[in-house]
Amino acid sequence: MASGVLAFAESVGGKLKKSAFEMASAGRKLAEGLGGPFSMFVIGAGPGEAAATLGRHGVTKVLTASDPALERYSSDGYSLALAAAAAVADPAILLLASSAMGKDLGPALAARLGCGIITDAVDFSVTGGKLAARRPVYAGKVRALAEPASCPVVLSLRPNIFEPAAENGGTAEVVPVAVDLSGDRIRAVVTAIMAPEVRKVDLTEADIIVSGGRGMKGPEHFHLVEDLAAALGGEVGASRAVVDAGWRPHAEQVGQTGKTVSPKLYVACGISGAIQHLAGMSSAKCIVAVNKDPEAPIFKVADYGIVGDVFEVLPALAKAIREKKGA
C-alpha cells in the first residue's frame, strides 16, 4: 500500500538547486506526519555526488536515474523517470518544487500516473494521516485549502518558503532506478537555455529583493535601487511597468506574468501594488514599501511603510544600513 513521501531533488548541471534542500526538509516533515518512509529522487548524468550531498543533509534513501537521454530536461523523460521511481518507492505523496521545471513536470507526472495534483502550496499540515495544503489563488487574494482525492497525489511547494534541510553529516542508501526511454518515448527536449544575464542568485531563490517601479521615473535612477540592494546584500527586482518600458530586463519582473518570489525581505520602491504585482511577492516574509502616495495599495500588504520620495528615502536607507553594518 502506498505510504510516505518521494521528493524530487531538482538539479542543474549536476548541482542540486536550493529547492532540493527545501524539499528534503518539507518532505521529511510530511513523511513523519504520515508515519511513512521518506526518500528523494535525483536525475542526472552522474547523480552519485548529488545523492551523497542529500545524505549529508539527513536524507537516508536516494533513488537515482542516470541516462544520457536525461541529461537535458524533457517532460516526457523526467515524468517517465519519476513514474519509474514512484513504482519502486510506492509513495502516498510525490513532492516537487513549484519551480519553472516543477510547473511543467508536476502535471505531466500526475497525468502519467492518473492521479491528482495540488500545485504551488505555501503551507501544509497532516492530521490523522490526511494531508491538507494551502495554496494562493486569484492572484494571491485568497488562500485555498486543498485535500487530495487520490492516492498517490503530486504536491508541489512554492520555492523559498520552507527552511532548507541542514547538514548533519549523514549518508544515504542509493537505489538506482531503471527507466525505459526506448523508442520515441521522449518527444521533445529542452535544447538550450538562453541565460539573459549573469545573475548571482535566481530571484526566486533570493533572500532579499529590492524592486523598483515606475516611481523611479527612469532607468537612469535605478542605480538607487541597485545601491540599496547592494547595501542589503540582495537582488534587484522590478514591476512590469518598468520592464514593459524597457528600463529593466524581463528576468527581474516580479508578479503574475513575471517571477513568484518569497524572500525574507522585499522592498518595493515606487511600486503602486497592483494585484498582478502582489501575486508575485505577497508571500514575502517581510514587506517594506516606499511610496509618496499614502493611499498606494502596496501599503495594505506592507509590514513597514515609508511614505516618502524614493529619491530621498533610498539613499538615506542605503547609508544607514552601511553605517549599521560598519561598511
Ligand X SMILES: Cc1cc2nc3c(=O)[nH]c(=O)nc-3n(C[C@H](O)[C@H](O)[C@H](O)COP(=O)(O)OP(=O)(O)OC[C@H]3O[C@@H](n4cnc5c(N)ncnc54)[C@H](O)[C@@H]3O)c2cc1C
**Residues that bind ligand X in the complex, under the rule CB under 6 A:** 213-215, 239-242, 253-258, 270-272, 274, 276-277, 280, 290-293, 296, 309-311
CB atoms within 10 A of CB 2: 16
Between 293 and 303, whose beta carbon lies closer to ligand X? 293
Instruction: Give the helix/strand (H/E) hosting 253.
Output: none
Strand ordering across the sheet containing 304-307: 235-238, 208-212, 265-269, 286-291, 304-307
CB atoms within 10 A of CB 234: 22
Between 184 and 220, whose beta carbon lies closer to ligand X? 220
Between 111 and 245, whose beta carbon lies closer to ligand X? 245
Rounded to a whole number of angstroms, the minimum distance from the CB of residue 290 to ligand X is 6
Give the list of residues 6+ apart from residue 288 with CB closer than 8 angstroms, or none: 265, 266, 267, 268, 302, 303, 304, 305, 306
Between 38 and 222, whose beta carbon lies closer to ligand X? 222
Between 4 and 270, whose beta carbon lies closer to ligand X? 270
Interior angle at CA 66, CA 62 and CA 67, nearest 5: 160
Rounded to a whole number of angstroms, the minimum distance from the CB of residue 160 to ligand X is 17
Please, what is the angle between helix 310-325 and helix 223-232, to 10°? 20
Rounded to a whole number of angstroms, the minimum distance from the CB of residue 296 to ligand X is 4
Rounded to a whole number of angstroms, the minimum distance from the CB of residue 297 to ligand X is 8
Rounded to a whole number of angstroms, the minimum distance from the CB of residue 62 to ligand X is 36
Q: From 27, 51, 37, 1, select the one nearest 176 (Cα to Cα).
A: 51
Rounded to a whole number of angstroms, the minimum distance from the CB of residue 316 to ligand X is 13
CA distance to 277, 282, 304, per residue, from 216 (Å): 16, 21, 19
Between 140 and 255, whose beta carbon lies closer to ligand X? 255
